[in-house]
Amino acid sequence: MCYTKSMMEQISKHAVVLLSGGIDSATALAIARSQGYHCHTLTFDYGQRHRIELEAAQHIAQYLGVEEHRVIRLDLRAFGHSALTDDIEVPKGGTVGIPVTYVPARNTIFLAYALAWAEVLEVGDIFIGVNAVDYSGYPDCRPEYILAFERMANLATKASVEDKISIHIHTPLIHLTKAEIIQEGTVLGLDYSLTHSCYDPDEKGRACGQCDSCLLRKKGFAEASIADPTPYQ
């Protein structure tokens, strides 16, 4: 068999994709796959209250046919200060400004690990499902932050010094609303029943339907005019 240049490019396209188990990162992975990337997915076990999120990431990775899926254990609880990892009550009914579910420097830590793996794999492409529209006020979801990380990453690695690989942080969702993200993923055939959003599910893993994350999810499906497959409590 003889390969055309475009086929060879397809073969060599690999990317590291951050995958949490939620709507956004699952859609980012579906987009990366649709663009022909062979994906290496990275999920973090950082003391989340619920294992459901980690299991969701595993199922999505399988469903979308990734090359390999790795789970890295972090201990962000060592620094405390977040309802996602501490025993602070998760707020219900919507919040103003930056929520208490904020984990300090989270995306910086996640992207730093993605960069480490990308360097080992000799890959320049990293996908992250941040978006700055329905972004819950997290500062490390903004385009200016991502650009600054990318600039730093291109000075950080052996490959960048040797001018072999240029790091590109792909943020395919950054300017999309939650509804547009869901529409995009649906077009690509993503099964959103595999994803998990709730900060406070019950013992059977069913979403509460009331936390910030559930409210954003519901609003997204409603505005996208797509049925929400989530089994709420």
Task: Tell which phi-psi region holds residue 175, choosing left (phi > 0), alpha (psi between -120 and 50) or beta.
Answer: alpha
Interface segment toward its own copies; rule CB under 8 A; list 2-10, 100-108, 125-133, 211-219: 100-108
Report d(CA 127, CA 153) in Å as an integer: 14
Helix or strand or coil: residue 99? coil
CA distance 2 to 5: 10
CB of 230 to its own copies, least distance (A): 29
Amino acid at 43: T
Q: What's at 106, amino acid-wise? A: R
Nearest distance from C-beta of residue 46 to its own copies, angstroms? 11
The C-alpha atoms of residue 103 and residue 105 are separated, in whole angstroms, by 6
Least spacing, CB of residue 187 vs its own copies, in Å: 32
User: Going residue by residue from 37 to 56, which x/- string records binding to its own copies, judged by CB under 8 A?
Assistant: --------------------
Binding pattern for the stretch 149-168 against its own copies, x by CB under 8 A and - elsewhere? x-xxx-xxxx-xxx------
The answer to the question of residue 145 lying near its own copies (CB under 8 A) is yes
Contact 179, 220 (CB under 8 A): yes
133 touches its own copies (CB under 8 A): no
Q: In DSSP terms, which residues pair with 42 in a beta bridge?
A: 18, 70
Q: Does 148 bind its own copies (CB under 8 A)?
A: yes
The binding site for its own copies (CB under 8 A) comprises 70, 72-76, 78-81, 98, 102, 104-109, 111-113, 115-117, 119-120, 139-140, 142, 144-145, 148-149, 151-153, 155-158, 160-162
